[in-house]
Structure 1
Amino acid sequence: MATRLIGGIALAATSAMLLAGCAGGGDSGDPDAIAGDITVLTQRTDIVDTVFQDYKAEFEKQYPDVNVTFEAITDYEGEVATRMNTDDYGDVLLIPNTITKDQLATYFEPLGTVDELKEQYRFVDEQSYDGQAYGVAITGNASGIVVNKKVFEAAGVTEAPTTPAEFLDALQAIKDDTDAIPLYTNYKDGWPLSQWEGNQGTPTANPDAPIHYTEIDDPWSKGEDHYLIDSLLFDAVHEGLTEEDPLTTNWEESKGLLGSGKVGAMVLGSWAVVQMQQAAEDAGGSADDIGYWPFPNQVDGAFHSTISGDYKNAVNIHSEHKAAARAWIDWFANESGYAEDQGGIAPTLDGPTPATLADFDTLGVEYVELTPAPAGKESLLTDIFNTAEIDLWGNLYRQKLVDIARGAADGDKDSYFAELNSKWADARAEVEG
């Protein structure tokens, strides 16, 4: 069911308390019993030499017999996936998106049962298999839309739209009354288009949405999440409310465009708010110019937002210092402050609500945490969309949607949705026999 996040509660648990159940070591929760050199892989090349060095210093104060070395990787997904063909992929690493649930036990040390970890952490089901949990989220994200409020205000829009039609009207007002690009797709970089998928379960307030997709042949039919999500993208492009030439978009540049008020909105996870606020300040504006609005649809008079975990820290099953690696994972989640600093949802159940979601508090947004797949069907959704060759979490099918909407490819919205439904139905039949 949809729930509201509870904020303002101080973290009470410590990593030492959690280490009593640490797998693969037999060590006690006594910091003096935790020792060894560990390598921690990270995708944060931008802060590994600054913020992460502060983390290292604080962690090593608590665990003086552990020495932490970081390895920051630019092409994290590609390089780590290759390295996992060997035993050498660090002691602590972020579970790559290419790892399927049935592969978790091959590469990672179990951290405990799902039920045990759910007493402390959010998002535990997301990297679990057969009742065992293998990762702890570094932070959590909400789904929604990053907006430059000054741009919308200049167009006469002062409240978050409650329907897709209202949102399109707001974008049209920006086009008519300002010089800003109403909505930026980041088509060329591709991966930002996958952020639209983060809204699954949001328009219909349905925590069972991914399970529902596996049970129907037509996810792109009226009233379904994918119809609502992809219709909004299609209609915005078709009506000329996005960048003029999507082939020239640039992710790094787009942050400055939104921050400076040259772009009105981008559909991104809440992780992006902090970056856009910094971009606003770099452009001579204010972080207060940047807001975060929910997807423009309401159920029973309320906005909703699907929340999910970001990358999950995990222990390499081949690590020689698993207790020290586990100590880092728990300390990072409970004491580093990373999630709060990045404007994310705390991975701990009693963590604070981030200031970046202040607009959600004002709007009374209700949060949807997706129901895990039933036992034995953990990979069913993935199997269906891979067989259908519809990359829900990729960029190709939505790039084609944009191309059709802007007249660069044949078809229209109805024909493309019919094509997607047909592929989905065929894939379901093939996967389920």
Structure 2
Amino acid sequence: MARKHIAGVAVVTVALALTGCSASNNSASGGEPSGDITVLTNRTDLVDTTFKDYKKAFEKKYPKVNVKFEAITDYEGEVTTRLSTGDYGDVLGIPASVTPSQLPQFFEPLGDTSDMKKKYRFLNDKSYDGKQYGLPTFGNANGILYNKRIWKEAGVTDLPKTPDEFIADLKLIKEKTDAIPYYTNYKDGWPLGSWQGQQGFSGDTGVVTDRDKSDAPWSKGSEQYITDALLFDVVKDKLSEDDPTTTAWEGSKALIGSGKAATAVLGSWAISQFQQAAKDAGADPADIGYMPFPYQKDGEFHSAIGGDFNNAININSKNKVAARAWVDWFTNDSGFAQSQGAIPAQVDAPNPSTLQDFTDAKVKLVELDKAANPSLDSDIYNKAQIDLFGNVYRQKLVDIARGAADGDMNSYFSQLNKEWADARTKVKS
């Protein structure tokens, strides 16, 4: 299973803010690491291989600790449900469903964010009231994964600089190759959240605050409009798979790797996985490229970078010292970020070779500003029941575009604006 990078909070059906959990006396700092710890992970593809090597190396350094992994396929859904029970391992990746204000209920503070920023980046997502509750496993850039060979066969030699150019390029792929121009991964759903991950493509690092101040984020010219209108047009113009209800995430890797499909909006975490899929399919891993979102400001591309899953300590853990030792070791010593071709969390670490395409295109990497009220964005879209980083509202967008649901793009955007404005009023009051 791949990491589903979500730089925000999804709408969930279980109530997380039940009763706050109280911390035990076993602080995460001080003392010698010892005892058994359970580490929850979404990486079902690595738990029996790479993670076994990590266990061996960690236990060599801390011989009194025994690490057990629990790999979960439906990580987001299952772990979100387990949070209310207190039974969610000792170390885990923080589910996207947890809002910033809920972090102290479920996780042990790791230190002051201001101090930790001297050593680590990508901390804003899991910080609350000056305290840090998670350390990112690595960081991602955001953009579009594509098969260079197919794009070249279609006659496309320059990166698209506008949404219209992107659509035109996909049409050339449909006309001149046998590849599916764009693959939505509609059925699995979560990859559609990668479209929201593109926020910041205009270079506006305050895009989240801008959205939270607006009663109509889906207005022409806004990032939200540009992003969702592009997805709508891709599907409306029949540039995606014939039946999106039959897509398959694992299968999409082989499709794009082999050139049977050409393009997908995904975080940079996906590059190494698709390169491996190309190799497994007997194709050239170098065929897998990564382009920025088709939009320029002042002649420059931009890509927002942010943390992937953040490792955290269960506030109910009986072995917090050992759990903290694992979090620190995984972040600093495991080499996990490098193995995934991702951006390391350490501020002084170099960017990975997987982002060479971005380097060549002179893409400016930006970190989005931390909002004055870090919970406001999620409070609004949860109240509006618009899962910006999930799949439901974009699946409906795709359904409308392909004629499987009533309405059109403008009517749907008007509906979303109304729901957003109503939610803003309720949240503010």
Give TM-score, length-normalised by structure 1: 0.90
Match of 2:20 in 1: none
Deviation at 1:75, TM superposition (A): 2.0
SS state of the match for residue 115, structure 1? helix
Q: For 1:24-35, what aligned pairs fall within 5 Å after superposition? A: 24-27=27-30, 33-35=32-34
1:323 and 2:335 aligned: no
Matching of residue 163 in structure 1 with residue 162 in structure 2: yes
Among candidates 353, 368, 378, match of residue 382 of structure 1: 378
- Residue 133 of structure 1 corresponds to 132
The answer (yes or no) to whether the contact 2:278–2:284 under 8 Å persists in 1 is yes
Unaligned runs of at least 5 residues, structure 1: 1-22
Whole-angstrom CA distance in 1 between matches of 2:411 and 2:144 = 27
Identify the range of structure 1 (58-67 vs 327-336) with the bigger mean alpha-carbon deviation: 58-67
User: What are the ranges of 5 or more consecutive residues in structure 2 without an aligned counterpart?
Assistant: 1-25
Equivalent residue number for residue 91 of structure 1: 90
Tell me how far apart the structure 2 counterparts of residues 73 and 414 of structure 1 sit (CA, whole Å): 39
Equivalent positions of 1:67-78 (< 5 A) are: 67-78=66-77
Cα distance between partner residues in 2 of 1:337 and 1:393: 28
Taking the aligned partners of 1:181 and 1:86, their CA distance within structure 2 comes to 44
Whether contact under 8 Å (2:28, 2:323) holds in the other structure is no
**What's the counterpart of residue 283 of structure 2?**
285
> Which whole-Å CA distance do the structure 2 matches of 1:54 and 1:352 have between them?
24
Corresponding residue number in structure 2 for 1:257: 255
**Matched ranges for 1:393-412 at <5 A:** 393-412=389-408
State how 1:10-159 maps to structure 2 within 5 Å: 24-27=27-30, 33-159=32-158
Partner of 2:418: 422
- Cα displacement (A) at 1:25: 4.8
Q: Where do 1:342-357 residues align within 5 Å? A: 342-357=340-355
Among 368, 371, 387, the alignment partner of 2:369 is 371
Q: What amino acid maps onto 1:207 in structure 2?
A: T
Letter in 2 for 1:46: D
**One-letter code aligned to 1:379:** S
Question: Deviation at 1:216?
Answer: 0.8
Question: Which residue identity lines up with residue 30 of structure 2 in the other structure?
Answer: D
Against the structure 1 CA distance between its residues 26 and 139, is the aligned structure 2 distance closer, same or farther, given a 3 Å change threshold?
A: closer
For 2:52, the aligned partner's letter is: Q
Deviations 1:355-413 (A, max 9, x none): 11110000011112111121xx2221112112222110111111111112122222222
Cα distance, 1:407–1:118 mapped onto 2, change above 3 Å: same
Amino acid at match of 1:115: S
- Choose the corresponding residue for 1:223, options 197, 221, 224: 221
Aligned residues with identical type, % of pairs: 57
Per-residue deviation, residues 273-307 of structure 1 (Å, max 9, x unmatched): 11111111111101100001000001111111111
SS at match of 2:311: strand
Q: Is the 8 A contact 2:29 2:324 kept in 1?
A: no
The structural deviation recorded for 1:105 is: 1.2
Q: List structure 1 segments (4+ residues) > 4 angstroms apart after TM superposition.
A: none
CA offsets per residue over residues 298-356 of structure 1, 9 Å max, x none?
Answer: 11111111111111101111222212211111111111111111121111111221111
Q: Distance in 1 between matches of 2:193 and 2:328?
A: 29
C-alpha RMSD over aligned residues: 1.4
Report the Cα distance in structure 1 between the residues aligned to 2:97 and 2:245, rounded to whole angstroms. 27
8 A contact 2:41–2:70 mirrored in 1: yes
Deviation of the 1:37 alpha carbon:
2.1
- The question of whether the paired residues in 1 share the 8 Å contact of 2:137 and 2:345 is answered with yes
User: How far has the Cα of 1:26 moved from its partner?
Assistant: 4.8
Per the alignment, do residues 143 and 25 of structure 1 end up closer, same or farther by CA in structure 2, a change over 3 Å counting?
Answer: closer
Q: How many residues align?
A: 404
Distance in 2, matches of 1:109 and 1:345, equals 25
Distance 1:166 1:422 in 2: 31
Distance 1:153 1:339, change over 3 A: same
Give the TM-score of the pair, scaled to structure 2: 0.91
